[in-house]
Amino acid sequence: MRLERLYFDINGVEFGDKSSICGRTLILNKHELESLLASREFELVEIDIVRPGSNVRILNVGDVVQPMLRLGSEDTTFPGLLGNIQTVGNGRSITLRGVAVTEVVEMTVDIPCLLQMTENASDVTEFADMWHITLDAFPAQGVLKHDYLKAVHLASKRLAKYVASLAAELEPCEIKVFELEHGALSNLPRVAYLANLFCHRPFTDSLVYGASMMESLPTILHPNEILDGALLGRDYDNAMNADPTYVWQNNPIILELYSRHGIDLNFVGVVVNNVHHELSWKERNAMISTSLLNNNLRAEAVIITKEGGGHPQVDVGLQVDILEKEYGIKTVAVLVEMLSHSNDSYGQLIFKSDYADAIVSTGCTETVTLPPPSKEIGTAWSSREGMGEGTLGEAGELTTNYRMLRSSQSQLGWTRFGSQKF
């Protein structure tokens, strides 16, 4: 499977009479896009542009998507959701860098996220360094929450595909090839990636080829399929504890393993697994996922990530024990330290294992104070009182945990933070 990613760098976005890309500037016809995204689930759709470094606060951020288009197979872009179901990860795909399509959810959610584009926010999350095309969709009267969220999730993919299509006739800034060859790599350690997805109920889950992973058994995916839009984040009520589609499209562990493939390791594939809320499912999925890694991928080392809060660590602990004890496979767990507000490292794990002796941290509890915004996009916030995990001052400044800023403490490692214990 060979994937060519055609990268187009965008360093400016503005509204104009005709949607196009001129140089490295993305020009959008606002009314055209709002008409394109009209739906009976929406009373109103508003498209806005947010510049990096501007003092704009985006409330209740849902999914964030990188504009992409599968060239020659356009009707399979975001397969199973927007596009036809077909194996992706091969062929050529357009990818726009420096810009994201960002959902603004106009219904309350349990654990919300926000974005602010000021300099101190840029120190916390890479999303503050990007241009954002915000999709602010207001629900039609009487529409059910799940119907509304389904329409929002679909609309952002439709917009991301359309924006990427504007580059179809242009020369890319860079082309990268993603291909796994294993023929002459028998002397290198076989390394696999086990990605645990947090899927507990509709719209607090992830999609693989358009289907929720809620009741799915673990499955093997080629890493190219994930990079090419087969895995979509759809976690709205638990947004603070999961990464959006953009991060899966640029999964840092997959990209790092690719960069070292054939040099000091043999990257053999990915297993995706749902961290269920029932213990029997946890045990079942731990057994099956580890079997796939051992018997099918023949891994000698495995990197493990998870989404969600505390209890998904149980799944990680079960997987580590089986892989290390039963199969002799070395493991590294990637975990965010968010369970102890005192940042006491002894309070960060809720499982006990004699084998979990290699753990990478993607950050711990810290706070940031964001200045009063000059502009806010979005009106709905949290079903909790006030600002969830934040404190709003009289002047509008917001003191909040890093985690409230979208993907600032990515559990997939798409982050600027870590912790060290000596």
> pLDDT at position 119, please?
85
Regarding pTM above 0.85, the answer is: yes
Backbone Cα Rg of the chain: 21
Side-chain half-sphere CA neighbours of 202 within 13 A: 10
Q: What pLDDT sits at residue 386?
A: 44
Name the token pair of 356: 């979990």
- Give the strands of the sheet with 390-392, arranged side by side: 367-370, 398-401, 390-392
Torsion, Cα of 119, 125, 127, 129 (10° steps): 30
Give the whole-angstrom CA distance, residue 194 versus residue 178: 19
Task: Specify whether the CB–CB gap between 364 and 73 falls below 8 A.
Answer: no
pLDDT at 383: 42
Q: What is the pLDDT of residue 395?
A: 67
Helix (H) or strand (E) holding 101: strand 99-105
Q: Calculate the CA 357 to chain-centre distance.
A: 27
**Paired strand residues for 412:** none
The pLDDT value recorded for residue 85 is 95
- Distance set, CA 75 to CA 159, 171, 234, 256 (Å): 14, 22, 21, 29
Per-residue pLDDT of the chain (422 residues), as tens digits, is: 999 999 999 999 999 999 999 999 999 999 999 999 999 999 999 999 999 999 999 999 999 999 999 999 999 999 999 999 999 999 999 999 999 999 999 999 988 899 999 888 888 889 999 999 999 999 999 999 999 999 999 999 999 999 999 999 999 999 999 999 877 888 999 999 999 999 988 999 999 999 999 989 999 999 999 999 999 999 999 888 899 999 999 999 999 999 999 999 999 999 999 998 888 989 999 999 999 999 999 999 999 999 988 888 899 999 999 999 999 999 999 988 766 666 665 566 778 888 989 988 887 778 888 899 999 999 976 544 445 566 666 667 888 888 888 888 888 999 877 666 65
Closest by alpha carbon to 36, among 144, 131, 137, 146?
137
- CA-nearest of 124, 125, 148 to 137 is 148
Retrieve residue 29's tokens: 């016809």
Question: Which distant-in-sequence residues (6+ apart) come within 8 Å of 118 by Cβ?
Answer: 53, 54, 55, 128, 370, 371
CA distance 314 to 210: 27
Own/partner pairs, 398-402, CB within 8 angstroms, 24+ separation? 398/57, 398/116, 398/369, 398/370, 399/367, 399/368, 399/369, 399/370, 400/114, 400/367, 400/368, 400/369, 400/370, 401/365, 401/366, 401/367, 402/124, 402/363, 402/365, 402/366, 402/367, 402/368
State the Cα–Cα distance between residues 55 and 57, nearest whole angstrom: 7
**Three-state DSSP class for 317?**
helix
- H or E segment and range at residue 56: strand 56-58
pLDDT, residue 335, reads 87
Q: What pLDDT, on a 0 to 100 scale, did the predictor assign at position 422? A: 53
Q: Which two tokens stand for residue 199?
A: 């899927």
Q: How far is CA 220 from CA 6, 195, 216, 292, in A?
A: 26, 10, 12, 7
